[in-house]
Amino acid sequence: MKKRSGLVNVFETFGRSFLLPVSVLPAAGILKGIGSAFTNASTIEMHPWMANQTLQIIMGFITMIGSVAFDNLPVIFAVGVVVGLAKQEKGSAALSGLLGFLVLHNTLHYLLSVSGQLVDKSAKNADQLMSLHMQTSVLGIQTMDLNVFGGIITGIVVYLVHKKAIKMQVPQVFGFFSGPRLVPILTIPAMALVALGFFFIWPYVQVGITALSFAILKSGYFGTFAYGVIERLLLPFGLHHGLNWPVRTTELGGIFTIDGHQYAGTINAYMAALQSKLPIDPMITRFSSGKFVYNMFGLPGAALAMYMTAKPEKKKMVGSLLLAAALTSFLTGITEPLEFTFLFVAPALYGVHALLVGTTMVVTNMVGAAFLTPTGHGLINFLIYGVLQGAKTHWWWLFILGVPCFIMYFLVFSFVIKKFNFKTPGREDDDETVALHGKDEVRAKLGVKTQKDRDQKNNMPPIHEHALALIAAHGGEGNISAVDACITRLRINVKDEDLVEKDRIVNQLNAMGFTKSGMQMQSIYGGYANQLKIEIQSILGLGE
């Protein structure tokens, strides 16, 4: 298989970096979903007993806790993206991400103020003026409305600074400021320059993003179908996160007006819609509702088709495997055991699945289904975000469409499997083991290398040989129990000090001095010590 382009690698890395910041959203969403279900005005009108003051206080508190994450997504992404991208010294990366975010918005506040563009927040129509001039308040700072994009770009910029600065050698006199301490120092001017660029460029970028957002919304059912197909086709390559999370958290997912306020991204819009008395716009949920249908009904239908087409003597064995995988998909929305299995045995079958996904999502959107979840499209989240939110989500469409979807998947998969004699579980040759297949196995078979694979293979910095020599001079990997560093000293704890080659460390490995404290060997390397620590930890697989 041809080597993947740099653009694809960047896209995958970018998508993977979203995993850490968005990991908080399911728990926060569950809290907010449960709280919203009991505090929604429309639901209270239907069930007056919910108006109990004590219940409302408790549920309001739960809603507030869940809202913390959604109300602060930009700063969560600023910290989360850089931590997700950084491979070493993640503590320094996190601190620098937060600092960079504060520098960005404080600089923008200053530029808006000195240029006379800062909206007067005391005006009667301040909210409308702020929206008109693309301004907002972030952590109490009045600034340009960058939404989650500000956090994402901050995370990427700080990661690039972190990647270079953490291994940058500085003059010995400034050794204290080397390594992880240098990252936040360089982050300040870097993010100030980024803010300056934002000040002049962002208004034009915002116009383009808004236009693209409207284009996506106006793409209608074709856009929904295309999204469903493309998102599934990106999954085997690990690229689907780069498509999903910009749609869920930024203007690319749409800009929706709810009760006079604008919300960017499908998650923010849906959470706001749950609090409103107005019906939920199905365009908010068009990239989510259909996932519940094919996860909970479609894929189990495919599992039944594979079971029914299995060889009689293998049905008992394959039945238990497929039943477990189907239940996992139905309850939690985790589809990997099924999807990667038929991708492994027959990629064409996965292509059929992608087309069925697009079709399911279009039909679900057409009927007006309006349920959404930050992640995990299974029964558990459906109950929280769909059923508990009341009639406004039109949750019953899941079951009305689910049965036909189950039948569609069963009939199509049965036909295709038999027609092309695909070796799905239970149809293998007699000498082959019945098994489901995971993503690592599939990618190995197809020759697909992810960016993570490339990182693990190619992460060979210039100091690598030096670090290997130091490991050997300390008695080898088995003799080392811990690795650390202070400002100037590399500190390596050993089990047997007699195995440590002290003269070699000083005379051949360029240490400026050597001492010990108990079983801790201390080699003086100045500001270079921290870089050696990082490399040795990486080689030995030791935590910081």
Active site residue 405: no
Separation of alpha carbons 382 and 389, rounded Å = 10
Separation of alpha carbons 47 and 330, rounded Å = 30
- Virtual CA dihedral for 281, 282, 288, 289, nearest 10 degrees? 130
Q: Is 265 left (phi over 0), alpha (psi -120 to 50) or beta?
A: left
* Phi, psi at 89, each rounded to 5°: 50, 55
> What type of residue is 419?
K
Q: Which residues of 360-369 are buried (b: 16+ CB within 10 A; e: fewer)?
A: bbbbbbeeeb
Query: What does the block give as tokens for 310?
Result: 């299995």
Q: Is 228 left (phi over 0), alpha (psi -120 to 50) or beta?
A: alpha
* Phi, psi at 61, each rounded to 5°: -65, -45
CA angle 372, 376, 381 (to 5 degrees): 60
* Contact call for residues 145 and 122 (beta carbons, < 8 A): no
DSSP 8-state secondary structure symbol assigned to residue 47:
-
CA angle 284, 84, 105 (to 5 degrees): 70
Q: How many helices (H) and strands (E) does the chain have?
A: 25, 8
Half-sphere exposure of 131 (CA within 13 A, CB side): 10
Helices 241-249 & 6-16, crossing angle to 10 degrees? 50
Separation of alpha carbons 491 and 263, rounded Å = 51
Separation of alpha carbons 104 and 119, rounded Å = 18
Tell me which of 41, 132, 205, 486 is the catalytic residue.
486
Find, among 486, 456, 483, the residue nearest to 467 by Cα: 483
Find, among 451, 443, 198, the residue nearest to 343 by Cα: 443
CA angle 13, 15, 17 (to 5 degrees): 70
Q: Is 124 left (phi over 0), alpha (psi -120 to 50) or beta?
A: alpha
Separation of alpha carbons 168 and 161, rounded Å = 10
Query: What does the block give as tokens for 486?
Result: 């202070």
Residue 215's alpha-carbon distances to 9, 87, 219, 360, 491, in angstroms, are: 27, 37, 6, 22, 57
Query: What does the block give as tokens for 389?
Result: 């939110």
Could you list the active site residues? 486
